[in-house]
Amino acid sequence: MVSVAIDGPAGAGKSSLSRKAAEILGFIYVDTGALYRAVGLKFLRLGYDTRLECSVDKILSDTEVDIRFVSGEQRVFLDGEDVTDEIRTPEASMMASAVSAVPLVREYLLDMQRKLAKENNVLMDGRDIGTVVLPDATVKIYLTASAQVRAERRYKELCGKGIQTTFEEVLRDIEKRDYNDMHRKTAPLRKADDAVIADTTDCNIEQSLELILRIIRDGIGIENNVS
Ligand code: DC
C-alpha cells in the first residue's frame, strides 16, 4: 500500500489540497483532525474537562469513533451518529484542540489511523502523521506558508461566509495555534526529518496542487500529469 503523510500548521490548506490530490490519485483521503474533533464533541456533550485524566480514560472506554467513506467522502461517526457537520462548530474546534493534547486520546486514535493506512492507499493529513502515526510513509510532505499569507486566506474565507472578524484577529489566532501545536508535549507539530517542504506562500491553489502532486509522484515514482 502507498501512504502519503501531509502535516503542517493551521490554515496551510492541508485539507482542501489533500482532498483534491487524493481524488486525482485515486487514494482515500483521511482527515485526522476530524477524529480529534469527534472525540472533542463527545467531551463537549458530556460537559467533561480533559484536565481530569481519570475521566478521560473512562469516557474513551465508552466512546466509539468511526470513519466511513460515502461516495469517496469521509464521514465521521460518534457512537454510531454521523457528526461530520457538527464537529466544525467553533466550540468543537476548541475542544478538539484541548483533547488533542491529551496522550490517552492520541493513543486511542492511533490504531485506527494506522489500520486505514495498512488496508488502503491513503493520503492522510494532520500534525503528526509523518512523525508518529506513519513514520514509514511512502511520501511525507510538510505543507506550510507564511503566517501572514495563511491568515489572509483564512480571513477571505471567513468574510466569504459572512463571519465578522478582522485580519488582525485571524492572524493572532493563527499564530496562537501555531505556538500551541508546536509546543505541546505529546506529538507536537514538527517537520519529519525525511519530509519534503511544500511552501505555498507564493502559490495560488492550482500551483499548490501541482506542487504537492509533483512531490507525491516523484516520491512514489509515477507519471507527473496533473489531471
Ligand atoms: O486539522 P483540524 O483543525 O481539523 O484539527 C483539529 C484539532 O486536532 C487541532 O487542534 C489539531 C489537532 N490535531 C492533532 O493534534 N493531530 C492530528 N493528526 C490532527 C489534528
Q: What separation in Å is there between the alpha carbon of 224 and the centre of ligand 1? A: 30
Q: The C-alpha cell of 163 is what?
A: 463571519
**Exposed (0-12), middle (13-18) or buried (19+): which is 185, by Cβ within 10 Å?**
exposed
Is there an atom of ligand 1 within 6 Å of 128 CB? Answer: yes
Q: Residue ranges of the chain with pLDDT lower than 50?
A: 224-227
Distance CA 191, CA 27 (A): 23
What is the tens place of the pLDDT at every residue in 137-192? Answer: 999 999 999 999 999 998 998 898 887 889 999 999 889 888 888 998 888 899 99
Domains of the chain: 3-220 (3.40.50.300)
The amino acid at residue 136 is D
CB atoms within 10 A of CB 81: 12
Q: Find the angle CA(202)-CA(204)-CA(206) to the nearest 5 degrees.
A: 135
CA end-to-end span of the chain, whole Å?
A: 22
- Of the residues 100, 141, 150, which should be mutated to test ligand 1's pocket, given the most ligand atoms within 8 Å of the CB? 100
Residue whose CA is at the smallest distance from ligand 1 atom 1: 33
Longest dimension (CA), the chain: 52
Q: pLDDT value at position 186?
A: 87
- Whether the model clears a pTM of 0.95, i.e. scores above it, the answer is no
Residues 6+ apart with CB under 8 A from 39: 60, 63, 65, 96, 99, 105, 108, 109
Q: pLDDT value at position 226?
A: 44
Is there an atom of ligand 1 within 6 Å of 97 CB? Answer: yes
Residue whose CA is at the smallest distance from ligand 1 atom 5: 33
Q: pLDDT value at position 225?
A: 47
Q: Tell me 131's DSSP state.
A: I
- Of the residues 114, 127, 180, which should be mutated to test ligand 1's pocket, given the most ligand atoms within 8 Å of the CB? 127
Give which of 81, 49, 50, 51 is closest to 65, Cα–Cα: 81
Q: pLDDT value at position 137?
A: 97
Q: pLDDT value at position 54?
A: 65
Residue whose CA is at the smallest distance from ligand 1 atom 3: 33
